[in-house]
Structure 1
Amino acid sequence: MFLTRLGYGIVYFLDLIYEILKATFDVAVNGIMKQNIDPVVVEIETVLERPVSQTILANSISLTPGTLSVDLDSENNIIKVAAISPRSKEDIIPFEPYIKKMLE
């Protein structure tokens, strides 16, 4: 059990680094060079139940360039996210399944 959770933690960390690098490139190209900025605030419903899992997800979103967690409603499992351009839920929180398997 512990080794499985540790494995998901490692995969989460590697995926987070990959998403940060991918978002950095995207912000550099679309945000700075093309000036293709259309800021939006979206509400994302999460499947995570524990407040610590939701907090890690919100912090991971804020670490990724181009997105910022604005509000976390733990009771309703909703995170408000500000993004520099419209994106799908899967693009904003691709690491949610790893956090779920790691902590819940």
Structure 2
Amino acid sequence: MLYGDIMNVFGVVGYVFVLLKALSEAWLDVVGRSINGSINPQIVEIETDINNLIGQVLLACSITLTPGTLTIGLSPEKRVLKVATISPRKRDEIIPFEPYIKKIFD
């Protein structure tokens, strides 16, 4: 039981750190793209490894908080998020905080 609680604490601390880092990097990226006009919007589907519904919702909200991305759909049973992005991005660039949310909820 104690091990699980410690892992949850590390998960929360890691999540907050990575989310803040992602927010600052995305903010700078969006400002740069707004200035030079290199915007190429896309909608991508991302499969998540998170099984817990609350964890999936937290992941979707975290994506929406990050500038340049917006979660427009969630299929909890398929574990798939539909995300609108301001530019083409890889899965790990969109959801760098997924492993930390997984530690907290799975």
TM-score (norm 1): 0.96
**1:61-100 equivalence runs, <5 A:** 61-100=63-102
Shift of 1:3: 2.0
* Equivalent of 1:4 in 2, 7, 24: 7
Task: Name the SS for the 1:69 alignment partner.
Answer: strand
| Structure 1 segments unaligned to the other structure (5+ residues) | none
Aligned residues with identical type, % of pairs: 41
* Equivalent of 2:47 in 32, 45, 48: 45
Q: Does residue 1:19 correspond to 2:22, yes or no?
A: yes
* Counterpart-to-counterpart distance in 2, 1:6 and 1:103: 11
| Structure 2 segments unaligned to the other structure (5+ residues) | none
What do residues 12-70 of structure 1 show as CA deviations (whole Å, max 9, x unaligned)?
A: 0111011000000000012x111101100000000111110100000000000000000
Aligned length, in residue pairs: 103
Amino acid at match of 2:25: K
RMSD over aligned Cα atoms: 0.7
* Counterpart-to-counterpart distance in 2, 1:4 and 1:62: 26
